[in-house]
Amino acid sequence: MKPLGHGDPLRSGPYRLIGVLGEGGMGKVYLGRDSSGRTAAVKVLRAELARDPQMLQRFLREAETAQAVRSKGVARVVTVQTEGGRPFIATEFLAGPTLDTVVQRYGPLQEPYVRALGAALARTLGDIHAAGLVHRDLKPSNIVLTSAGPRVIDFGIARPEHGLTLTATGEIPVTPGYGAPEQALGQRTGPPGDVFALGAVLVHASTGAPAYQGQHVAAVQYEVVHGEPRLAAVPSGLRQLIEPCLAKDAALRPLPAQIVAAMAPPRGAGKLWKQHPVAAEIDQLEEWARRLAAFPDLDTRSSTPVTDGPSRRRFITGLTAGGAVLAAGGGGAWWMLRDDAAPPREHPWDADPLGDDDYEKGKAPDPLWGPKKTPADGSRMLTIRDLVILEAEAPDLFAYEVTTGKRKWTAKNVWEAFYSPSLDLILATSSDVLYGISPRTGHKLWEYEVGIVSSMAVHEDVYYFDDLSSNWSTGDPGNVVALRLTKRGARMLWRKRIPFDFDADDIEAAAGGDRLVLTAGEYGAVALDAADGRTVWKVPRKSGNARAPYITGQTVYLGGQSLRSFRLGDGDRKWSTPASTNSGLSVGAVDGDRLYLVANNELRCHSARDGSEKWVQELENPVHGKPVVSGNTVWVSSTQRFEGIKAFRKDTGEPLWTRHEKGKDKKGGWSMAGAGNRVFTLRDQNLTAMPVV
């Protein structure tokens, strides 16, 4: 949210305006608060448009349309003013991330969550259609996830079912890839058009990618009208439900009530907005809303609070730094920090980033805390909300508070820690047992006998490991096993022999979407179906080395003598970039459109779209481990500790500083992890928290 600027009104009807949530062609959406402390999203028509009869009529139609819908799945209209001053619509204030934000941050949703989402949205569409309306712009960015479930926003282009034209030119707005074929062709659009959009939304939710893709808008629209949706990565159980929604013939699409019945989400599927990690975001945003409602009233003659306390601008600036995603239901507008803006404080425990005046270029800033002596002498570090987890060779796990460095708990005799955000569960092994560990207390919640294993990956509620129990003496790569996890235990999902030659002993793995990708150097790569372990696609041995798989969204990157990008669902290759050194390339971190690669002594930034080079920085010695991205910085260390750890601007590669720490200058780089506008470094059992810009 932004502070009010020059020309912004201080009040609309009963609402004192606090800040700007967003703006569009017709007006701005403000956060308003009435005298009783209730907040609302207030969409105010632009002053110059309020005198235009056609624009005024369109705005009034939007107000009437929004008021006509009575459904728990939309933002409720609380006040409308059409006469006496600038017209405005005040709607229920929603605090929560949009669906596209959730998929971008957490990846595709699991099938039960998609079923719950689909059933809720179909029920809401049924309510909209029962009011004689068609939404006509359903898409992931118009769906807000709240603690009460998904809410549909933005009725700006909704129309009565019999209506067609919207503007003086007769042009019908349509979001490419979500508007139905008849809508893309400018034909009459009825309720089946919303059903088509729902199908496209559920493809995006279940795969992380659009159902229709193209290099430009016209190409996407052509695919909608003449092509076929990309459903290869949609789980089979969902595909048969979603595909009818995307029928070219509107008459063949199901009714919303039929979709609700067919989705039949299993019990507990609604936990996406109750227990899933997205719930933590929702809780924080709701807390912001409560704080706004409790903020002291403002004198109408100035921007000074009537009671003592922080200034209005300071409060709004603090809210901006908090990075809250505040959805305005009726206006369909929300504000989020731009990619090039200061990194947001998404959670209360996050640190404030450094401003340009807070550090001296070329000189490392002082730590936020540390160095603190720890028992940890291993290299694995995990960051989980307000904790940083260290792994010791003892073997034990140690949890420290990210804000102070104070030790929170110790879990004895466990190692190889992985984290499942969807279950909020740490997975760690000890001898021949897998434990489920609470990240809040460190207590072992359950145990499952696994034998001699090497952990591979965890994604959502599935844990993968290489079972070496029966092959320890032979050197056989063993079997890959998938366990289905719950808060109370684990059960075997499937077991398959490692799909490589007998002596492939350098297996690396990555899990994401509904795939487990394995690589084994010169033996290529294999993608297994997460549901049953069957081989879905391969990168053959003859194509060259395949190392270090890295999955983000619906893309997997394979390192080696060339860096290659593949579509995760079917293995179609997108692009390939040759390595500049004999040591090969590997992806160490991904941030938006940027891939951060390691190649011998080089830290490289490449485009995720086509693999093209953005910038390169050289170290004196080979890079140790993976680069770490936090805030607007990317950090890296070398195999020689005396070279220190180096921080660069993540967008340009500009060197910021090098940090050295007293200690023995022996080989072996620093261990690092980043989260919450901090970078944690571990050297010689000393843990330090560093700030970022």
Helix, strand or coil for residue 126?
A: helix
- Count of CB atoms situated within 10 Å of the CB of 614: 16
> Both tokens of residue 287?
């807390």
Strand-strand pairing, 525-529 and 515-519:
antiparallel
- Output b/e per residue, 640-649; b: 16+ Cβ within 10 A: bbebbbbbbb
- 3 state DSSP class of 132: coil
Look at residue 412 and give its three-state secondary structure: strand
Nearest to 12 by CA among 20, 362, 316: 20
Structure token digits, residue 432: 């021949």
Structural tokens at position 195: 């059903």
Interstrand relation of 396-401 and 407-412 (parallel, antiparallel or unpaired): antiparallel
Closest CA to 287 of 326, 247, 329, 230: 326
The β-bridge relationship of strands 88-95 and 39-45 is antiparallel
State the amino acid at position 88 in one-letter form. Answer: F
The set of residues, in sequence order, having a beta carbon less than 8 Å from that of 566 and lying 6+ positions away, is 539, 555, 556, 557, 558, 572, 573, 574
* Token pair recorded at residue 186: 């400018």
On whether the CB atoms of residues 62 and 56 are closer than 8 A, the answer is: no
Helix, coil or strand: residue 513: coil
Q: Is 43 annotated as a binding residue?
A: yes
Rounded Cα–Cα distance for residues 182 and 136 (Å): 11
Q: Which residues contact 123 (CB under 8 A, 6 or more apart)?
A: 71, 73, 256, 260
267 CA to centre of own chain: 25
* Binding-site sequence positions for ATP: 43
* Binding-site sequence positions: 43
